[in-house]
Structure 1
Amino acid sequence: MMRRFLTGLILAAAMAGANVSDLNAETRVTGGLAVAPDVTLEQTEGLETEYGTVSMGEGLRLRSILTRPDGTTGPLPAIFVTQWVSCDSVIFPDGRDTQLRLLAQQSEMVMIRIERAGTGDSEGPGCDKLDYNTEVRHYREALVQAKQHPWVDPQRVIVLGSSLGSTTAPLVAQDNDVAGVIVQGGGAVTYLERMIHFERLYVERSGAVKPEDIHPEMIQRIAFLQHYLIDQKTPGEVASDHPELAGVWGRIRGTGAENHYGRPFAWHWQAAEQNFLAAWLSLDVPVMVVFGEYEQFESRHGHRMIVDMINRKSPGAAQWLEIKQADHGLQLYPDAVSAYAYDNAATAHQLYVAPVSKWLRRVAGLRK
């Protein structure tokens, strides 16, 4: 009953033009959530764009951004994006191609993006105050509502997780009736292992630690991360309780006085409680995992484990794509050390976009 009611409202607004301001033939705003004064509405060649609204259980309104191929009508298969860790906007940058923009153009599908709380037009506390469980819940609620949009075929929605979104993607998809899941830049090891690996690559590739000092340095970092993530102690509490670890927090990558990689400590504590592999194995849909050979953060093993464990359960359900010489952002580099320093990058978007578009269309039942 509620779903039919909400669908009716959406259809009525679309047909009657309620709360819709036409900006041009390709971009419009609907749903009553004001566009922030400093926001430039995106326009992408070949795509119709709609700035809409999804409502969260606690009453917050978040900005939704949907694109579809120009000139299409009726419901289409859709890609629902779960985002990376940094709190920047999901709006396509003006005048610059990205993998997501090219996927939106080439996949022949709707793409659904959600601005997280406090980002862009979205209401609520800033993304830097958002905890992990709330972020996942927001995505889950947004996915349910996005399936009711008249552009979207609710039986053919595929979740796409990018970077940190690779950890949220299976949690968002779980029990949410999706057609498939694709991730890039994140695996299914425990969050503690994930962060230890971050530090391992940092001390090996950054030059911040002498090779002969890597072993004792990692012992300290592992101990600190155990107390911080598993015991759920603040960095100050860890240093107070374990004086031998004082100073370690300042050496760990991405740390601040009140945050880690721009997110509050509670966000990381909640992430460390998740059983990512169990979430993956609860799914019964096609899966694709993309890995860049020169990843600066995530392990090949963590990525590969998703494919291997799913295929052990359901042979052929998961597909692997490894892009040689690619880093976390799928830029190409001559070697792993250059990638870690972001030195001498080359762009080759189609190494990702072409095979991913092909997989998406196949899973969605479009032409190959």
Structure 2
Amino acid sequence: MKHAFSKIVAAGFAIMSFAFPAFAQPSPADLEHDEIRIETSEGLSLSGYVTRPIRSASPLPSLMLTQWVSCGSIAPSPERLSEAERIALASNYALIRIDRAGTGKSEGPGCDKLDYNTEVRHYREAFDQLTQHAWVDQARVVIFGSSLGSTTAPLVAMGKPVAGVVVQGGGALTYFERMLHFDRIQLERQPDFRPEELDGEIRRRMEFHRLYLHHKMMPDQIERLRPDLRGVWQSLRGTDAAPHYGRPYAWHWQAADQNWLAAWAKVEAPVMVVFGEYEQFERRHGHRVIVDTINRLRPGSARWLEIPQAGHGMSLYADPYSAFLFDGGVRQHDVLVEPVAQWLRGLS
């Protein structure tokens, strides 16, 4: 199957063609790592990692990763490169990252018990400590938010001397709206599509999310109060990884309290927002509102990058229905790595 990659939407509303240069396939051997202990304000010791291209001069402009919702270590692997490592290599940037509490060698009760506000605070404390590293140019640190890390990115950047923020896979609508987008896409793209039932099911989910996210009620409490909403929780995406995408209810409740667009409005550094055409979770508008808001306040300071046929993880699919099922995805790293790296090189 051939994919057409001739169009990439960038910088406002212009549609541009972009030729991806051929370059040698990078490998983990192209990087070197330094593990640093991060001390949090409550006394936990977290694993931090500073990574740079081998034989590079120090200090370097740096990319700090804020992670997706699911738990799991993001420590450097000797066997494969992460997307963030590929971007750092292509940009000649150092990469900063931490393993969240209870993950990898980081202390703590576990990522499954880590709430949203504490996670943001840990990132901000890690920023202050890891940017002191000898490999890092403190004046040129860019935050890179991936998936739901796109929501923590502007909060981590707030009041910090950041040189830019780039996000992929998450927008700036309220968490309530975001979850409804998850539901709408799920109901529209699932193989057992029943358009005549979609309206009623969305209304049930709206009411469930109102009680769950705004009133901070647990699913069993909601079902006791509202027997007509039984079964909604089990039908939602992410409830198979208990309690919800593997994170505690408090994480989601605190996310629902955030005003992300207000945080983005305070980011005065350049911004890039990356959207995959076949995104399986949040719709285009959720991403686009970041660029439109920032460019309305500070014209020309936000860049839009839309990658045709790309899903949430930047694999490429034949159509949005295949993407929803994660069926037949093809990984072509250049479609994300090179345009983001080009933007980062421009900043430095």
TM-score normalised per structure 2: 0.90
CA distance in 1, matches of 2:321, 2:133: 45
- Call closer, same or farther: CA 1:209–1:264 in 2, change over 3 Å: farther
Instruction: With a CA cutoff of 8 Å and minimum separation of 6, indicate the structure with the bigger relative contact order.
Output: 2
1:268 Cα offset (Å): 0.2
Q: How does 1:192-341 map to 2 (within 5 A)?
A: 192-208=176-192, 210-256=194-240, 259-341=243-325
Name the residue aligned to 1:344. 328
* Conservation of the 8 A alpha-carbon contact between 2:50 and 2:130: no
1:258 Cα offset (Å): 5.1
1:95 Cα offset (Å): 2.7
Q: How does 1:1-368 map to 2 (within 5 A)?
A: 44-208=28-192, 210-256=194-240, 259-363=243-347, 365=348
* Conservation of the 8 A alpha-carbon contact between 1:80 and 1:111: yes
CA distance in 1, matches of 2:227, 2:280: 30
The CA deviation string for residues 131-151 of structure 1, in whole angstroms up to 9 with x for no partner, is 000000000000011111111
1:347 Cα offset (Å): 1.3
CA distance in 2, matches of 1:93, 1:154: 26
CA distance in 1, matches of 2:310, 2:57: 37
* Conservation of the 8 A alpha-carbon contact between 2:85 and 2:95: no
- RMSD across aligned positions (CA): 1.3
TM-score normalised per structure 1: 0.85
The CA deviation string for residues 102-132 of structure 1, in whole angstroms up to 9 with x for no partner, is 1122111110010000000000011010000
CA distance in 2, matches of 1:207, 1:266: 32
Q: Which amino acid aligns with 1:275?
A: N
CA distance in 1, matches of 2:79, 2:30: 14
The gaps in structure 2 that reach 5 residues or longer are 1-26
Runs of 4 or more, structure 1, over 6 Å off, are: none
1:73 Cα offset (Å): 3.5
The structure with the largest alpha-carbon Rg is 1
* Conservation of the 8 A alpha-carbon contact between 2:88 and 2:341: no
The CA deviation string for residues 246-281 of structure 1, in whole angstroms up to 9 with x for no partner, is 221111111159511111111000000000000000
CA distance in 2, matches of 1:243, 1:351: 47
1:300 Cα offset (Å): 0.4
Q: Which amino acid aligns with 2:116?
A: Y
CA distance in 2, matches of 1:219, 1:118: 37
Aligned identity (percent) is 54
CA distance in 2, matches of 1:178, 1:111: 14
CA distance in 1, matches of 2:306, 2:274: 6
CA distance in 2, matches of 1:342, 1:250: 21
Q: Which amino acid aligns with 1:65?
A: Y
1:92 Cα offset (Å): 4.1
1:52 Cα offset (Å): 1.4
- Call closer, same or farther: CA 1:96–1:47 in 2, change over 3 Å: closer
* Conservation of the 8 A alpha-carbon contact between 1:98 and 1:349: no
CA distance in 1, matches of 2:32, 2:42: 30
CA distance in 1, matches of 2:218, 2:59: 48
The CA deviation string for residues 157-197 of structure 1, in whole angstroms up to 9 with x for no partner, is 00000001000000000011111100000000000000000
* Conservation of the 8 A alpha-carbon contact between 2:151 and 2:171: yes
* Conservation of the 8 A alpha-carbon contact between 1:296 and 1:328: yes
Alignment length (residue pairs): 322
